Amino acid sequence: MAGWMGRVVRVDLSSGEIRDEPFDQDVWRRFLGGRGFGAKVLWDELRPGVDPLSPENRLIFAVGPLTGTTAATSGRGSVSTKSPLTGTITDANTGGKFGVIFKKAGLDALIIQGKAPKPVYLLVSDEGIQIKDASDLWGKNTDETTDLLLEREGSRASVACIGPAGENLVRYAAIINEKHRAFARGGVGAVMGSKNLKAVVARGLRTVEIADKERMKFVTYEANKWLRAHPITSKGLPEFGTSVLVNIMNEAGIFPSYNFRQNMFEFAEEVSGEAITEKILVRKDGCWGCIIQCARRTRIPGDEGEGPEYETNWALGPNCGIHDLEIITRANYLCNRLGIDTMSAGGTISCAMEMTELGYYDAGIRFGEGDKLLEYLKKIAYREGIGDELAEGSLRFATKHGHPELSMTVKGQELAAYDPRGAQGQGLAYATTNRGGCHLRGGYLIGRELLGVPRMIDRFSAVGKGSHTAILQNLGAALDSLVVCRFASFALNEIVWGRLLTAVTGVKYDPEDVLEAGDRIFNIERMFNVREGFSRKDDTLPRRLLEEPAPMGPTKGRVVELDRMLDEFYEFRGWDSNGVPKPETLRRLGLEECLNG
Amino acid sequence: MASEKYRELMEEMKRIGRIVFQAGLNNSHSGNMSVRVGRRILITRRGSMLGFLKDEDIIETGLEQDDSGISLASTEVAVHRAIYKGTSALAIIHSHPITAIALSIVQDEIVPIDVEGSYYIRRVPVIEFEFGTGSKEMEEVLPKYLKNYRIVMVKGHGAFAIGDFLEEALHYTHVLENIAQITWRVRAMGIDTRQFEREYFHKW
């Protein structure tokens, strides 16, 4: 079968059973792979209310039909689960090469359930799948774990593992692959830790069958032509990395700092893409087969690694009032070794800083105290002292101390590096994500509102944003299921993705079929969340963004006009006024399985 | 007239309508355009001049259901609705670009031979209808094509372009007419343009 490998394996860590699942071609065609396949499994298999850290939860590693092909940015992997941070469905997506090697091992997906009686790791190879003892790895950081496993399983393998944060069930623990890349958000590392699963090691040499090689060749040529021509993918990202956005967003007045108390940062220059290039860059790098090369190989005194990426840079820097690039970079490296999501870590610490500043609760750390940042990250990973509270995420922490309004989260997950008071659509996007606060899953409206991709729209206007947001969410859900990088979409639209998918699989996908698949995936995720009790009341933003006007710059005086956009959004999506997909919407998308859910 | 809450979109329709007319993509009274907001659409009034739209020339009606506005809406309103229901478009421009229409009369597809055209549009199908204006057949067929292409030509009639914004649909329309003009001018030099057409664009 072209595109997909035709193999799904289920591992029950409680019983040690490993078995092949029937490969349902219809499911893969409709849900594509990655995030889409994960959502389908979670809808089908999880009962409502299940504890995300219980053996019953599923952890699904999956790739897509384009993974490992010559399609642009197809070197990625995806993991899906029920989030211990938000209680929603979640998925996390990583770069590097893990996804490709996983597919070369001959798999499309690995469904993990249960809990091993002692620490284990999984070896997924083209020779078979094994559960192996990881007792000696438990307690080690991700660098040490990766080195030991590569020594054990061969240097051609790829390791995705958890660090101490995942072992200690930090609610925003990440899974780290190739030491520097992360399945970062939503606490996927904690779910892995709850299963006593230290790592998944992939190893394989199989190739992906392409249905129409000739067509694939010319569509790839056309796609790469655009990637090489577009200023963002050919210049901005390769030259300055993702932190190219720092100055752009700051000048627009949507670069939050001090836990979103400000919408600009007075020291932005010091943490900009230009500063990274000048001060710490060793060389640029990229994921498997990618021509964009946006990753930064960096060096600081006594240490070397990758990053910081834009969101990490912001979360551990300006949002905490910190502008020392060396400290931010060191904190980034530390998060990777401990296995923590940098964004939620930064968002939680900045919340603690504001609680201290306002005298609500003395968390022992204030804005700008970079010298304490590393210590706090370690406390979080090992749940020591105040770290035990902060490991729960900013919403639980702030609520415990009586001030939930200081948690800059949606559905309990910390927001990203864009202040939506200056980008109305992004505000709606944040509010309606299926995995909680996220700039990507909500539909990256910043592309249209600030970067002019494909056209610039009025960022201060609320009119029409509901429709735009829904379409971008659908496209994003499809791309996460293919599984490709969002950056490629600065240059490539659904027409190109449809053509690539058709060439690889031999199944005809019109551009609208790609968007419809995304619509289906977004809706089944929504139904999962509805089943868990989420509704319109949860599609909201922190009070600060709705009521406190932005204090400075071009965005000064603005708040997010959420309700107005939300009504249009529900209407466009075919949901009722409480945010529940209507039966006719579910039927239109072929989601009959959700009708009685 | 459309609700005041759509003021920004109404102004955008006036701006784009003016450009469409000034660029010669429509004559004084031809063509129409619309935008979708949720389950509502704003569409130009039947017989309105796209180059000089006033508030009362922009009609608001439902995506599925008629209301009183329907009697004033463009003759092509049913086609617009069908396109919105069949695709993810948020904006539609129907225009009458002269050179592209001329090419559509003599060939079954329009393929760019210029560099700019080849980046934005690799192939434009030409579709023939017995009744080429506001017909049931167009309602059924056009959405199927527009699921796969962002702009199509109705043979001897005009172009339907879609996008997430009017400006995007306008861009496709402009690029199409440029492709047609360049093709026509090269042919006017007595040169067969087919030698410049990339083979794989025909399969796009």
Query: What would the pLDDT profile of A397-430 be if each residue is shown by its tens digit?
Result: 999 999 999 999 999 999 999 999 999 999 999 9
Instruction: State residue A594's pLDDT score.
Output: 97
State mean pLDDT over B33-38.
96
Instruction: State residue B203's pLDDT score.
Output: 81
Instruction: State residue A597's pLDDT score.
Output: 66
Instruction: State residue A341's pLDDT score.
Output: 98
Q: In this predicted model, what pLDDT tens digit does every residue of B90-122 receive, in sequence order?
A: 999 999 999 999 999 999 999 999 999 988 999
CB-based contact A488:A496 (threshold 8 Å): no
Least confident of A446-455, B8-17, B101-110, B147-156: A446-455
Read off φ and ψ for residue B149, nearest 5 degrees. -130, 150
Instruction: State residue B130's pLDDT score.
Output: 87
| A464–chain B Cβ distance below 8 A for any pair | yes
Does A208 map to a domain? no
Residue of A222, A453, A514, A515 to mutate when probing chain B, most B C-beta within 10 A: A222
pLDDT mean across residues, chain A: 97
Are A110 and A164 in a shared domain?
A: yes
| A150–chain B Cβ distance below 8 A for any pair | no
CATH number of B4-203: 3.40.225.10
Token couple for B30:
């031809």
Instruction: State residue A454's pLDDT score.
Output: 86
Are A308 and A269 in a shared domain?
A: yes
Q: In this predicted model, what pLDDT tens digit does every residue of A200-257 receive, in sequence order?
A: 999 999 999 999 999 999 999 999 999 999 999 999 999 999 999 999 999 999 999 9
State mean pLDDT over B32-48.
95
Are A359 and A396 in a shared domain?
A: yes
Residue A464's closest chain B neighbor by CA? Answer: B37
Q: Could you tell me the residue range of the domain that residue A521 belongs to?
A: 420-594
A361 vs A351: CA distance, rounded Å: 11
Is the previous residue joined to A483 through a cis bond, with omega within 30 degrees of 0?
yes
Q: In this predicted model, what pLDDT tens digit does every residue of A97-135 receive, in sequence order?
A: 999 999 999 999 999 999 999 999 999 999 999 999 999
Are A173 and A289 in a shared domain?
A: no
Most confident of A324-333, A442-451, B191-200: A324-333
Are A360 and A312 in a shared domain?
A: yes
B21 vs B54: CA distance, rounded Å: 14
Report the domain count for chain A: 3
Residue A509 has pLDDT above 80, yes or no: yes
Asked if A466 and B38 come within 8 Å (Cβ–Cβ), the reply is: yes
Chain A with chain B: Cβ pairs closer than 8 A: 65
Are A182 and A260 in a shared domain?
A: no
Share of chain A above pLDDT 70, in %: 100
CATH number at A308 reads 1.10.569.10
Detail the DSSP E strand segments found in A98-208: 109-113, 120-125, 128-133, 158-161, 175-177, 181-183, 197-203
B90 vs B37: CA distance, rounded Å: 7
Cα A293 to Cα A238, A283, A526, B172, B198, distances in angstroms: 5, 10, 34, 30, 30
Does A298 map to a domain? yes
| A552–chain B Cβ distance below 8 A for any pair | no
A379 vs A315: CA distance, rounded Å: 18
- Bridge-based pairing state of the strands B158-163 and B91-95: antiparallel
Are A431 and A378 in a shared domain?
A: no
Instruction: State residue B137's pLDDT score.
Output: 93
Are A140 and A39 in a shared domain?
A: yes
**A232: distance to nearest CA of chain B, Å?**
16
Asked if A215 and B203 come within 8 Å (Cβ–Cβ), the reply is: yes
CATH number at A478 reads 1.10.599.10
Q: In this predicted model, what pLDDT tens digit does every residue of A511-546 receive, in sequence order?
A: 999 999 999 999 999 999 999 999 999 999 999 999
| A218–chain B Cβ distance below 8 A for any pair | yes
Instruction: State residue A251's pLDDT score.
Output: 97
The dihedral region occupied by A34, where left means phi > 0, alpha psi between -120 and 50, and beta the remainder, is left
Residue A197 has pLDDT above 70, yes or no: yes
B152 vs B121: CA distance, rounded Å: 10
Residue B164 has pLDDT above 90, yes or no: yes
Least confident of A126-130, A194-198, A441-445: A441-445
Are A393 and A444 in a shared domain?
A: no
Cα A209 to Cα A104, A147, A219, A505, distances in angstroms: 11, 32, 16, 8
Are A508 and A378 in a shared domain?
A: no
**Residue among B90, B119, B150 whose CB faces A468 most closely:** B90
| A571–chain B Cβ distance below 8 A for any pair | yes
- Could you tell me the residue ranges of all domains in chain B? 4-203
Q: In this predicted model, what pLDDT tens digit does every residue of A359-373 receive, in sequence order?
A: 999 999 999 999 999
**Residue among A467, A495, A515 whose CB faces B37 most closely:** A467
Are A281 and A191 in a shared domain?
A: no
Instruction: State residue B135's pLDDT score.
Output: 85
| A495–chain B Cβ distance below 8 A for any pair | yes
Residue A258 has pLDDT above 80, yes or no: yes
> Interface pTM (ipTM) of the complex?
0.90
Cβ contacts (< 8 Å) between A468 and chain B: which residues?
90, 164
Instruction: State residue A328's pLDDT score.
Output: 98
Are A401 and A495 in a shared domain?
A: no
Given the structure tokens 């230009």, which residue do they identify?
A274
Residue A80: closest CA among A61, A102, A107, A95: A61
Decide which of A407, A442, A470 is a domain's last residue: A407
Asked if B88 and A499 come within 8 Å (Cβ–Cβ), the reply is: no
Does A215 map to a domain? no
Chain mean position to CA A316: 17
State mean pLDDT over A334-358.
98
Confidence of residue B75 (pLDDT cuts 50, 70, 90): confident
Cβ contacts (< 8 Å) between A226 and chain B: which residues?
119
Cβ contacts (< 8 Å) between A220 and chain B: which residues?
none
What are A89's strand-pairing partners? A82
A593 vs A527: CA distance, rounded Å: 10
Q: In this predicted model, what pLDDT tens digit does every residue of A463-506 receive, in sequence order?
A: 999 999 999 999 999 999 999 999 998 999 999 999 999 999 99
Confidence of residue B74 (pLDDT cuts 50, 70, 90): confident
**B9: distance to nearest CA of chain A, Å?**
8
Asked if B38 and A458 come within 8 Å (Cβ–Cβ), the reply is: no
